[in-house]
Structure 1
Amino acid sequence: MRTIEFWYEFASTYSYVTAMRIGRVAAAAGVAVRWRPFLLGPIFKELGWNDSPFNIYPAKGRYMWRDFERVCEGEGLPLKLPPVRFPQNGVKAARLALAGEADGWTPDFTCAVFYANYAEQRDISDEDTLRGLLSRIGVDPERAFAAANAPANKEALFAQVAEAKTRGIFGAPFFTVGDEPFWGNDRLEAALRWAKA
């Protein structure tokens, strides 16, 4: 089975939409998905940005929020804008998602975090929130946090960001099929077609 790599950042609006649909769409296409959580902050800093471009450029931000509403409505996804500052800090969630890869709970946890952020208006940087989400999907929070906070896992997340930079990834969601890049939720189907071909 061919594989698509799904690079996502928990602060990313459109990554929410992709996370909630990629499993279904990829399965229908007969393509496996590797979930790759990473952090956009270090990449943005290298571009000279100290914030999301949607905050730096207000016109772009206004358009994105309206478009995001339309896309969520089209996908039947609930949307409540985050009550805390956008973008939220997703470092702890990314460490947890990466730690869950070995045991196979990364997709379920990822979807739970995105849903908490964009449908339930919850603070995804809060450990109690994350512990509750882990329990909701049947994962022991203590074990998960121990794995996430292990030095090797923290280094693995840094390595994941470094790999994203090396591969020219500059936003999220991003998909790679081998060395072929695709950027944006609306390019998912194109990436799946490429994987099948």
Structure 2
Amino acid sequence: MRTIEFWYEFASTYSYVTAMRIGRLAVAEGVPVRWRPFLLGPIFKELGWNDSPFNIYPAKGRYMWRDLERVCEDEGLPVRLPPVRFPQNGVKAARLALAGEHEGWTPAFTSAAFQANYAEQRDIFDDDTLSAILTGLDVDPDRAFAAANAPANKEALFAQVAEAKTRGIFGAPSFTVGDELFWGNDRLEAALAWAKA
């Protein structure tokens, strides 16, 4: 059985949906998952974008929000526009998620951070919000922030972005199974099937 790598960005709307369902589906299929937080900003910048394509192209943005409402309704997930602005800055959350990989709390933290952002309208760039999420998971916030902000972890996140680029990832959520790339929440089932094939 091959591992599916789940590449996600905390600013990504459809990554929210995937984060809330990948664990259940992967367990049902018996497929191991590696959670891979990364940042789309550097990738978008290379494409000449300085913002989310959903903001750059208003018609696309309007469609995305309506589609997201439909998808979330089908999944039984609440969805509300994030506070402050869209997209929120996910760099702190990504550093924390990456730091938690070795201790095993990355999936739970990721799901909780996405829920805070897209269901509860909380600011995931705010340290108090992130601390509350960590505390709710019985993770010591001070220790988690120290690990997340360590130079080695920051470099690891840069390396994760660089790896995403070399693997041809251009959006989130994406899934890799070996060298095979799948893009989009609606391709999760196909990626799981590929991992089992």
- TM-score, normalised via structure 2 length: 0.99
- In the aligned structure 2, how far is the partner of 1:172 from the partner of 1:101? 19
- In the aligned structure 2, how far is the partner of 1:25 from the partner of 1:93? 24
Matching residue of 2:61: 61
- Cα deviation, residue 157, structure 1: 0.1
- In the aligned structure 2, how far is the partner of 1:54 from the partner of 1:80? 16
- TM-score, normalised via structure 1 length: 0.99
Superposed, which structure 2 residues align to 1:18-167 within 5 Å? 18-167=18-167
Matched residue count: 197
- In the aligned structure 2, how far is the partner of 1:53 from the partner of 1:171? 10
List alignment gaps of at least 5 residues for structure 1.
none
- Cα deviation, residue 81, structure 1: 1.0
SS at 1:139 equivalent: coil
Give the AA of the match of 1:176: T
- In the aligned structure 2, how far is the partner of 1:35 from the partner of 1:153? 15
- In the aligned structure 2, how far is the partner of 1:141 from the partner of 1:2? 33
List alignment gaps of at least 5 residues for structure 2.
none
Displaced runs of 4 or more, over 4 A: none
- Cα deviation, residue 2, structure 1: 2.1
Give the AA of the match of 2:85: R
Matching residue of 1:196: 196
- In the aligned structure 1, how far is the partner of 2:36 from the partner of 2:126? 21
Once the two structures are superposed, what CA deviation does each residue of 1:68-101 show, in whole Å capped at 9, x if it has no partner? 0000000000111112110000000000000000
The reply to whether residue 13 of structure 1 matches residue 13 of structure 2 is yes
- In the aligned structure 2, how far is the partner of 1:78 from the partner of 1:168? 31
What value does the CA root-mean-square deviation take over the aligned residues?
Answer: 0.5
- In the aligned structure 2, how far is the partner of 1:64 from the partner of 1:78? 15
- Cα deviation, residue 40, structure 1: 0.2
